[in-house]
C-alpha cells in the first residue's frame, strides 16, 4: 500500500470479485431505478438509497454479507452508514460502477 492509496476509493472490480467468492452474499445497487435500468452489474439487486429502509424485503437476514455500490461511491458510502444503523453488520462499500470493467446487464 502506497502513501496515496488512502485517498483512492474502493476498487469496484476487486469488490465484485470478493462478492463472487463470498457464500450467501448479496450485491446491492443503491442507485435510482432509472440508473439501474441503464446498466448494472449482473446478480445485483436494486435498493435505491432513497428507499433503503425497505431493504429487509430484499435481504431479511441482517447477517447476510452485503456488497453495495452506486455510480461513484458517494451514495454507497452513505448507504453503508444507514445499513449499519438498520442492524446490518457485514456491509462493504465497493465503490462506483463508473470504474467497473466487467459485464453490464440492462
100/50 Cα distance (integer angstroms) = 23
Give the separation between CA 63 and CA 65, rounded to whole angstroms: 6
Q: Is 82 a catalytic residue?
A: no
Catalytic residue among 70, 83, 91, 97: 70
Query: Alpha-carbon distance 80 to 69, whole Å?
Result: 10
Catalytic positions, please? Answer: 70
Amino acid at each position: 500500500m502506497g502513501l496515496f492509496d488512502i485517498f483512492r476509493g474502493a476498487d469496484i472490480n476487486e469488490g465484485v470479485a470478493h462478492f463472487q467468492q463470498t457464500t450467501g452474499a448479496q450485491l446491492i445497487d443503491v442507485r435510482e431505478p432509472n440508473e439501474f435500468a441503464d446498466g448494472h452489474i449482473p446478480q445485483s439487486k436494486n435498493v435505491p438509497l432513497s428507499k433503503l429502509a425497505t431493504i429487509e424485503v430484499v435481504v431479511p437476514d441482517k447477517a447476510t454479507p452485503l456488497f453495495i455500490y452506486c455510480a461513484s461511491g458517494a451514495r454507497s458510502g452513505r448507504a453503508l452508514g444507514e445499513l449499519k444503523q438498520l442492524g446490518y453488520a457485514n456491509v462493504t462499500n465497493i465503490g462506483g460502477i463508473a470504474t467497473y470493467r466487467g459485464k453490464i446487464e440492462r
